Amino acid sequence: MFQERVYNFSAGPAVLPGPVLEQARLELLNWEGTGASVVEVSHRSPEFSAIADRADDDLRKLLKVPENYNILFLQGGATLQFAAVPLNLARKESIVDYAITGSWGKKAQAEATRYAHTNIVTDGANNQYTCIPDPATWKVSSDAVYLHYTPNETIHGVEFHFIPEVSDSPLIVDMSSTILSQPVDIARFGLIYAGAQKNIGPAGITIVIVREDLIGRARLETPSVVNYQVMAGSGSMSNTPPTFAWYMSGLVFQWLQKQGGLSAMADLNKRKSSKLYAAIDASDFYSNAVDSACRSRMNIPFTLADPKLDATFIERASQAGITNIRGHRSIGGMRASLYNAMPEKGVDALLSFMADFVARYG
Ligand SMILES: *Cc1c(COP(=O)(O)O)cnc(C)c1O
């Protein structure tokens, strides 16, 4: 049992800022003098509407979302968007392009095959998803309705540090594990979506930022709750939204503003991840296989020289207050997720634990 908060390196649901959790705790029983919890009031009440509007405004400011984009607050996770994107944008006979640089992109493409003809423009499987294949080699379709890719692959730790310019079709991106980690030029994309539980807030809410001209094209069979036109027209309240997750996400947006916004986050995230990569690269005991040009700043998988020590590493780490460091079950090893809410001190603690571990077992 920990009396204090641990350094939680979970890939998601992930660490949230301490001050956000404190505020939620303070307000839980009696929120803003209403005598009720925020989870006990109507989503159509003026009080909740104010929360919803403020979250929309704050996110718009943080990400500098242009006016011709709608922000939707939906349910179903990023996984529902794997289906919602083709349902809203493509016909059964349409061609939709997918660049696959890890497990999530693969899942997105697999789901889309049920709704349209998917063309895989590139697949990094040949190199075990350790790099992003050169966009010059991508086989894009001339008539694709969109090109989908995953700017940060959470499991493989592969991140785009550029926006590919290979197609005239709108770019659709799954930013679940990298949104809000740095400034991004929203206008370069047709649609951005992200599940909240990595870098936004608690699980249960999914952000969709969609350019206006892509709204209103949904197929008849599209469920209303993921129909971008229906949801944009109702302020994401055609049915009951996940009010608590929306409220908590709003608190995270306010916290981000207090930290100095996304350029401050970018500096911090660069520092945190550079330190960890430098320590891994300097060691004969730890390694990370990802090409240095496309290493993720958010999710850093690494292996120990002797996998028989994995269980001991995880156990000792946990005793040192470093938790959820186990790698994804599909690739094994370790993974440190360094989302915005992971303080630099947490990375320092991990580094000193890693050095101690090598000294004892390496
Ligand atoms: C976690 C994750 C998902 C899945 O999100 P759900 O909210 O569980 O549907 C999809 N894509 C990426 C990049 C992720 O990191």
At residue 222, what are phi and psi to the nearest 5 degrees? -65, 125
Determine the Cα–Cα distance for residues 168 and 173; give it in Å rounded to an integer.
15
pLDDT of residue 1: 62
| First-to-final CA distance of the chain | 28
Q: Is the full-model pTM beyond 0.85?
A: yes
Tens-place pLDDT, residues 296-331: 999 999 999 999 999 999 999 999 999 999 999 999
* CATH 2.120.10.30, applies to 261-361: no
Q: Give the helix ranges, DSSP H, for 215-260.
A: 228-233, 243-259
pLDDT of residue 48: 95
Question: Is the CB of 78 inside a 6 Å radius of any atom of ligand 1?
Answer: yes
Mean pLDDT of 200-209: 98
* CB proximity list for 174: less than 8 A, separation 6 or greater: 78, 81, 104, 105, 108, 148, 149, 150, 151, 193, 194
Mean pLDDT of 126-148: 96
* Interval between CA 77 and ligand 1 midpoint (Å): 7
What are the residue boundaries of the structural domains of the chain, listed by start? 22-258, 261-361
Residue 308 among the catalytic residues: no
Tens-place pLDDT, residues 244-275: 999 999 999 999 999 999 999 999 999 999 99
pLDDT of residue 4: 85
At residue 225, what are phi and psi to the nearest 5 degrees? -70, -10
Q: How sure is the predictor about 32, in pLDDT bands with cuts at 50, 70 and 90?
A: confident
Judged on CB neighbours under 10 Å (0-12, 13-18, 19+), 33 is exposed
Residue closest via CA to ligand 1's atom 7 equals 77
* CB proximity list for 51: less than 8 A, separation 6 or greater: 38, 246, 247, 250
* CB proximity list for 34: less than 8 A, separation 6 or greater: 41, 47
Mean pLDDT of 147-168: 97
Tens-place pLDDT, residues 338-356: 999 999 999 999 999 999 9
Q: Is the pLDDT of residue 150 over 70?
A: yes
**Ligand 1 mutation target, pool 176, 193, 206, 296, most atoms within 8 A of CB:** 176
For domain 22-258, give its CATH number from 3.40.640.10, 1.10.3080.10, 3.30.360.10, 3.40.1230.10: 3.40.640.10
At residue 277, what are phi and psi to the nearest 5 degrees? -60, -40
**Ligand 1 mutation target, pool 82, 106, 154, most atoms within 8 A of CB:** 154
Tens-place pLDDT, residues 101-127: 999 999 999 999 999 999 999 999 999
